[in-house]
Amino acid sequence: MPSVRDLDPFFKPKSVAVIGATPSSGKIGNIIIENLFSDGYQGRIFFVNPNYKEILGMTCYRSVLDCPEIPEMAIIVVPAKLVAGVMEEVGKKGTRAVTIISAGFSETDAEGKERERVVLEIAQRNGIRIVGPNSLGIISPHARLNASFARASPLAGHIAFFSQSGAFCTAAIEYSLGEMLGFSAFVSSGNKADIEDADLVTYFANDPKTKCIVAYMEATRKGQELFQALDKASRKKPIVILKAGRSRKGARAASSHTGALAGSDASFDAAFKQTGVYRAKTMFDLFDAAQALANQPPLTDDGIAIVTNAGGMGVVATDYAEEIGIELADLSKETVEALAKVCPPTWSWGNPIDIIGDADTARFAGVLEIIGRAPEVKGILVIAARQAATNLYELAKWIAITSKLSGKPTVACFPGIEDPESERFLDSRGVPAMPVPERAITALHALHVRGKYLKKKGLLR
């Protein structure tokens, strides 16, 4: 298992060599160059391709051996049959971190599997760590490093994400930009010939910029190592995994996609439950849970309060909470009496707390102040449908204030509303804002699972 330092060259290299660099627009070797420069990477960049003497006015070297210094990371973008020879040169040069973008290995056929075996043997002989092959690449937003051929770069933040599927990575990046999610790292692990899920989990568990570890996973060759890594890492940081291949046909599709057996889904499920991993079943689950876990405290006890100006939305949230195992708080007599003083007589007189459709910011604020202090309330969901009296931006401020002053996990839901200003405000304060009640409840559920795990392990501060 690698130490933090072993994988540092992948995420904060002082220099990078693009082997297979090309001036031809649209080619992967050119897209990677564009991404390195457009994201503002501050390290040294070396181009390697025997077919060119210069690219973008910069020297292009025939071999990595000709580079004037040892690149800390090499990105290989050459045909699969040439990768072994390139790896030998990388080993001689002294580079110890390699991302292999090239496809045509164990994900294809017997010949591809043999190619991968040879490449791995060269790497092990030379002390080289490999991400890939068949990888989209690596993005390290805090280092302004986009060593990938993704079309966009994610925002910098505190979620470390890795995925076997490069296409899932690109979809996740596009989605995250709309949701204002920020990342400490983005890794397309590809075939995982060398660096496996366990390695990445261990690395990110010790990475100070990472607050939550998130993964899309199809298969693993090293189940026991992964279990041990998850068990250790979960004690430090929350982990969310979308494990595909739950169905028989899905498992078969996963095996054909990655070249590795998907394994027993029941085994993965048991391992995740034992190690406190939150298992997502959809892409929404994955990132809703991640956003909450990266920014909100765990929900340590049963008892959430749902505050809403839309009764129907409150019912939907209540139904879903019961369905997935979150209990609503029984409001004390003192809390109900306090609420009655700031709400009209037609409010719900219970939880969910329906404060009626004409609720203005002052009414929301009064209610939030009361439940923020109520000892029986352990977590808060605020649902605000747009009505004539609703000022979402002002309400967003009060939601953020309640979250900070109460110290209770807090999630917002603006049903069906696009209000970038209010959502950005809440995001900047670490409060997840969801477009439907079910997703807001999922975020609280992830915090609830995390709280129960920490309590069970005696790790609550």
Looking at residue 1, its pLDDT comes to 44
CB 117 within 8 A of CB 83: no
Q: Is the pLDDT of residue 79 over 90?
A: yes
C-alpha–C-alpha distance, residues 27 and 18, integer Å: 13
Give percent helix, percent strand, percent coil of the chain, each to the nearest 5: 45, 20, 35
Q: Specify the pLDDT at position 96.
A: 97
Residue with tokens 């956003």: 291
Instruction: Look at residue 45 and tell me whether its pLDDT is greater than 70.
Output: yes
- Match domain 154-295 to its CATH number in 3.90.930.12, 3.20.20.70, 3.40.50.1820, 3.40.50.261: 3.40.50.261
Q: CA 290, CA 274: separation in Å to the nearest integer? A: 19
Query: What integer pLDDT is reported at residue 300 of this predicted model?
Result: 94
Q: How many angstroms separate the Cα of 378 from the Cα of each of 145, 276, 319, 431? A: 40, 20, 18, 16
Looking at residue 263, its pLDDT comes to 59
pLDDT of residue 55: 97
Q: Which residues pair with 187 in a beta bridge?
A: 138, 162
* HSE toward the beta carbon, residue 250, CA cutoff 13 A: 11
pLDDT at 62 exceeding the cut of 50: yes
Residue indicated by tokens 């392990």: 457
What was the pLDDT predicted at 249?
Answer: 58
Q: Is the pLDDT of residue 424 over 50?
A: yes
Distance of CA 305 to the CA centre of its chain: 27
Residue 252: predicted pLDDT? 55
Number of H helices, E strands in the chain: 16, 19
For the chain, give every residue range classified as CATH 3.40.50.261: 154-295, 297-456
Q: Dump strand ranges (E) for 286-365.
A: 304-308, 353-354
Q: What is the largest CA-CA distance in the chain?
A: 80
Provide the pLDDT confidence category of residue 394 given band limits of 50, 70 and 90: very high
The identity of residue 363, as a single letter, is R
- Supply the pLDDT for residue 265: 86
Mean confidence (pLDDT) of the chain: 93
Rounded to an integer, what distance in angstroms lies between the CA atom of residue 60 and that of residue 54?
Answer: 4
Across the range 273-302, mean pLDDT stands at: 96
Contact between 205 and 233 (Cβ < 8 Å): yes
Structure tokens at 209: 């910029």
Q: Identify the residue with better confidence: 341 or 179.
A: 341
Least confident of 2-6, 25-29, 194-198, 376-380: 2-6
* Residues facing 99 on adjacent strands: 75, 131
DSSP 247-292: SHHHHHHHHHHHSS----HHHHHHHHHHHTPEEESSHHHHHHHHHH
Q: What is the pLDDT of residue 187?
A: 98
Work out the pLDDT band at 5, boundaries 50, 70, 90: low
Q: Tell me: pLDDT of 149 over 80.
A: yes
pLDDT digits (tens, 9 = 90+) for 99-125: 999 999 999 999 999 999 999 999 999
**Architecture in CATH of 1-133:** 3-Layer(aba) Sandwich (3.40)
Residue 262 is predicted with a pLDDT of: 47
Give 442-460 pLDDT, tens digit per residue: 999 999 999 999 999 999 8
Residues 192-242 have pLDDT tens digits of: 999 999 999 999 999 999 999 999 998 888 889 999 999 999 999 999 999
Q: What mean pLDDT comes out for the span 394-398?
A: 96
Comparing C-alpha atoms, which of 171, 30, 191, 173 is closest to residue 104? 191
The whole-number pLDDT of residue 214 equals: 98
Beta bridge partners of 73: 16
pLDDT at 389: 83
| Domain covering 297-456, topology | Rossmann fold (3.40.50)
Check: pTM over 0.85? Answer yes or no: yes
